[in-house]
Amino acid sequence: MGKDVIVACDFPSAEDCREFLKKFSGVERKPYVKIGMELFYSCGPDIVREIKALGHGVFLDLKLCDIPNTVRRAMKSVSSLGADIVNVHAFGGIDMMRAAKEGIAEGGGSTKVIAVTVLTSIAPEKLGAELLIDRPLADAASAFALNVKTAGLDGVVCSVYEAGKIHGICGRDFLTVTPGIRFGGSDVGDQARVATPEFAKEQGSDYIVVGRPITKAADPVSAYTQCLAGFAG
Ligand code: C5P
């Protein structure tokens, strides 16, 4: 597992997503697909089964954050969908994260569970001002990562800038999945802590999550191939 480009399929409908994925039908290394809230809430769980049946790896980005019992039961439902990775927010605490893992096991599945440390859209100055966390961003991300490890989860979603430190603290096998990827000079959008595929490789990220730089590209297949070459080549 690891060293793959995950394409964030942030589309409003299953039809839009199918049309997009058709472009990749002749591509040798099929992209790993991230199904986020937009697609999941508009299409329901069948979209996970459909994309898995097309032969793609699936990261189900639901970012759950609720009381442990609710998260356990939600994960039990998710378990049978066959996603490869699903996630929660580390902010929900260690008990909630443990419950997420237990829910997957209770459902009989083997989906890996990872947790978001600090969203890549959060700039350092917002951490104290808006999230009321009074420590440097890299320290907060590492402290959350340690909680994630303590809870027995498989890894974290973090920015490229924290991936090396988190591997140092939590071990090389602890997955780092890093969004906020941009080609040099391209539009940052609502992201704050962005990095190129090449820099993500240097920092030891296991997976990069790339949305708009691929989905909105004039030629999505070549943008994907460029990402793959820069990150996993
Ligand atoms: O379009 P873009 O490349 O910015 O998309 C990044 C994707 O990664 C989005 O689907 C977003 O929800 C997700 N993500 C993120 N930061 C996190 C966790 C997930 O940007 N910390």
Catalytic residue selected from 63, 126, 165, 201: 63
Query: Where along the chain do its domains lie?
Result: 4-232
Residue entry with tokens 């378990």: 79
| Whether 76 is catalytic | no
Q: Lowest mean pLDDT: which of 49-58, 75-84, 188-197, 209-218?
A: 188-197
- Is a pLDDT exceeding 90 seen at residue 204? yes
Residues 6+ apart with CB under 8 A from 32: 4, 5, 6, 7, 56, 57, 58, 59, 84, 207
pLDDT band at 2 (very low <50, low <70, confident <90, very high): low
Nearest CA to ligand 1 atom 17: 119
Centroid of ligand 1 to alpha carbon of 210 (angstroms): 7
Kindly indicate whether the domain formed by 4-232 is annotated with CATH number 3.40.50.300. Answer: no
Nearest CA to ligand 1 atom 3: 211
Centroid of ligand 1 to alpha carbon of 35 (angstroms): 11
The stretch 118-126 carries a mean pLDDT of 90
H or E stretch including 12?
Answer: none
The stretch 38-66 carries a mean pLDDT of 97
| Amino acid 132: pLDDT | 95
- Is a pLDDT exceeding 90 seen at residue 185? no
For the entire predicted model, the pTM comes to 0.94
